Structure 1
Amino acid sequence: MARLSTRRPLIGITAGTTRMMSGAWAGHDAVTLTEHYVRALREAGARVVILSPQDLWTEEELAELDGLVLSGGRDLDPSLYGADPRETDLAPDPERDAFEAGLYALARRAGVPVLGICRGLQIIAAAEGGTLHQHLPEDVEAYPTTGLEPTEVDVELSAASDLALALGTRARVTAYHHQAVREVPPALRAVGSHAGSGVVLALEAVAGSPVLAVQWHPELGEAGAGLFDHFVATARAASAAGTVRAGVR
């Protein structure tokens, strides 16, 4: 009888860069990621490696990962989706934008499953040719303002989606953003929206390797555990399938 592998999936998650404001390292940049992401992935059974914008990866190196998570953070540079900046935009981080868009492209070519969270969803949408609402309180008045503090919102999910397998067709989630997808690109499909306004809150890839993106923060609280469990299971299955195809891994 074949032995089942006990190897934990190796999941890479992106981090941002923050300028230290006090103490001995004031004025120096730090690679930052809230520990909630790492804890949620570990509790779902993954090994975690943090990916910093200063460390570029090749496609061969990225293919060593079983999954890629694009984490939350500041606004995207609006030039990524053909828009002009607004006063409401938070200062962009072009280095991180380019880093994460590049990682996403590599993951798609290598067949590595991707999970986008909040800003991560926006990177995926922009990389595929979509556009964003730059300030929801102005662009969609019916959507609750979440740019200043975490807000509980109701999301309706397509029954014919991987996301519904993890969460069901309706969920209350924790959102913390003021931008969201305006136009969904052809390579993606909307599988979740805000129950009151129709704002897109979840995307999946139409074809190819698994891509799942949510506009909320599943790492906050216990309600998002099912999403991380689902993603890690997807990464484990993709890794096993790759082993069968390639005979290595």
Structure 2
Amino acid sequence: MKKPKLTVVGAGPGDIDLITIKAIKTLKTADVVLYDALVNEKLLEYINPKAEKIFVGKRRGCYKYKQEQINELIVARAKSYKHVVRLKGGDPFIFGRGAEEMEYAASFGLDVAVVPGISSALAVAAYQNIPLTKRGSSESFWVITGTTKEHKISRDIELAAKSNATIVVLMGMSKLPQIVKLFQAEGKHNLPVAIIQNGTTSKERIGIGTVDTIEKVVAEKALENPAIIVLGEVVKHRDLLHKVLEKETLNAALEV
């Protein structure tokens, strides 16, 4: 008999083509799949057709299952069906609680494994032509949760605001006014900011501004979760690239 097993799988940031081949192979071997709200439902087509599919999605203010219930469900299903796959948006080790679920499962004797995914922290910005590092603009980047488990703003954002690094904030829209104040306190009023909602999907929307104007941009465009916040000089690259492309297009048209 197979030993009960949990495999935590990263589904990527939303575009179904950004899931890995290994993740697809794992889904095909699953007996049960527990999937989150941020997982593109088209990915469910890759699952073993005989597998049980359970939606355990969690979003702010809406919880299908509490985390404790998900942990218990993983163990119960693994001992009954053997191979449970926990499918999570992005990368399960980047604010995805994948490590916690694996520790819980291992404490009950389950084999555990992880299949990394492409994090929204990287891919969403890239899809909008925003590099997190760029020679002459940014030598490093921070990826920070905007909201801690106590529902407070992360103290790391205050530290990050003092640096010259690119800052990527996940789950931070509800804390945007506080984030803005922290950067204003460091004199970074004109620092470029991008907010990208539903990144890498057909519903993607973006707002570009500065620390001083981004709240107004968000209000005008009605941007909301799920979204990431990118703060840094690298945000300018998107506009620079567009200008280069427009110039090349114009030159090509004049040559015809």
TM bucket normalised to smaller = under 0.3
**Greater Cα radius of gyration, structure 1 or 2:** 2
TM-score, normalized by length of structure 2? 0.27
Q: Normalising by structure 1, what TM-score?
A: 0.28
Larger helix percent: 2
